[in-house]
Structure 1
């Protein structure tokens, strides 16, 4: 047998980014009022630079100048987001907004509407044409700090949470997030429970974040229908609610103004929201900041 054919005698090393702990090891405090499952709904309020950087498109391969996909995305901040927020308010679910801070300048009425509904504003970059990929550590640190500073200036409180545009990271992102004052991250589906990640600057909590119960990756990325997406939400919810009898869990749903805010998709999403809120006595409909505060408080209601 040649060296190339030799079987390894030790296991491959892990990535070392966060500690391994199986779901069979119970952890974490119970949610308030004895509820078993915490659910938050994240709404992406995004802004794109015209003709520059990355975009999310519903019609592929439109030649520049792309007015078609630009109009589709703008519909989200003109119409779809208002209707999404109204639906969440009607369902009694406080919104978690993944905010590009450029929206403060391009759609101030939309941010004001979210603010009136008690939204939590999570840092989501300046523009969604941006990506952290390829940034130097110093540039990334300045970028993260600029987003936090703008939200603090507008809202009076710095954001506790961060969600990367395009779910992008660098090797310095976790360290830079902690250094910039962010306490929790909405990017990763490591577990059905919050996971503490150590960094050189301190620790940050990874909130369970839906990579598939997410209208961008599933409807636009994979071509799922609105009803298929609603069925995914319902099935995720029913399974996690059943599993939460063993230990408290967290579920997220991620939607975007220009995707689920479209009228035909909104109807399907509303069906899923009504299904979930029908179990309100067992479910804590909340926001990441409340989950983080509850964990720090050791379970005090």
Structure 2
């Protein structure tokens, strides 16, 4: 890797989007009584028992000596049990979410994918698997092949997702150009703002929506070991602040994750129910999938 970064300059260290203070832009207004938005992302991930760890281990990957069956089966539990609890809670409230799916799971979990599609949720492409990380050590052709194979697997199942989320939400310098080249129009990897930001690519704009790592359930509940009540309170605090800021900042949005092997555990479902009920009660908050929320922000206010 070079000792100096060639794009170092005033403002951003890249030219993907303009640099400016959020307070200097005109407030966004969206239709009806909606003042803020929140989108739900449910990651469906394939964790191999023998990850390569190149260039690093995915945050949820196996950690003890091979075969790490304890962690492997916990992740498997999420796909066999936990995700269905999440689906039930979403559907009982008429909520739509974005299910970010590793392409390798499409063959392994076909009944689950059918259930998600039948319920009208959005399916986003989440790369090939947790062991296929996008990073600067890949050549342009190698990374293009990863994305092409991902798209081919979705195509084989009659799926054409327009939203992309990289495995581990990690990119190379070429990833935005390549995913836009492949037909994706929205991305959940970058979180530079509280409104959709159109990233510049060689093939047109790629809309970025802020999926907040600071509200990631894996990060808070297992990494920082916060309680379920703290997790719920922080998401609700984010929603309420954006509603309170509407008068001077206009409509804003954020995303948060519901990871099946974390939130889908039986001792945490009560917290998910509490969270969803409280968010639904916020009448001026639009709670939906990433693509539906992006559409709402792109529609001119009436």
Q: After superposition, give the CA deviation of every residue in 1:101-130 in whole Å (9 maximum; x if it has no partner).
A: 122122222111211211111110111222
**C-alpha separation between the residues in 2 aligned to 1:131 and 1:264?**
32
C-alpha spacing 1:57/1:166, structure 2 compared with 1 (3 Å): closer
Q: Normalising to structure 1: TM-score of the pair?
A: 0.88
**C-alpha separation between the residues in 2 aligned to 1:28 and 1:122?**
29
Say which of 5, 12, 17 aligns to 1:14. 12
Contact conserved, 1:40 with 1:253, CA < 8 A, in 2?
yes
SS at match of 1:182: coil
Structure 2 counterparts to residues 239-278 of structure 1, below 5 A: 239-246=241-248, 247-278=250-281
Deviation at 1:237, TM superposition (A): 1.4
Structure 2's unaligned 5+ residue stretches are 1-8
Deviation at 1:289, TM superposition (A): 1.8
Contact conserved, 2:209 with 2:254, CA < 8 A, in 1?
no
Structure 1's unaligned 5+ residue stretches are 1-10
Contact conserved, 1:28 with 1:295, CA < 8 A, in 2?
no
Structure 2 counterparts to residues 81-230 of structure 1, below 5 A: 81-133=83-135, 134-156=137-159, 158-230=160-232
Q: Normalising to structure 2: TM-score of the pair?
A: 0.87
Aligned to 1:4: none
SS at match of 2:275: helix
Aligned to 1:30: 29
Larger deviation: 145-154 or 235-244? 145-154
**C-alpha separation between the residues in 2 aligned to 1:211 and 1:75?**
23
**C-alpha separation between the residues in 1 aligned to 2:87 and 2:44?**
11
Total equivalences in the alignment? 287
After superposition, the CA RMSD in angstroms is 2.1
1:39 is aligned to 2:38: yes
Contact conserved, 1:82 with 1:113, CA < 8 A, in 2?
no
Larger deviation: 75-84 or 86-95? 86-95
Deviation at 1:20, TM superposition (A): 1.6
C-alpha spacing 1:57/1:197, structure 2 compared with 1 (3 Å): closer
Contact conserved, 2:40 with 2:290, CA < 8 A, in 1?
no
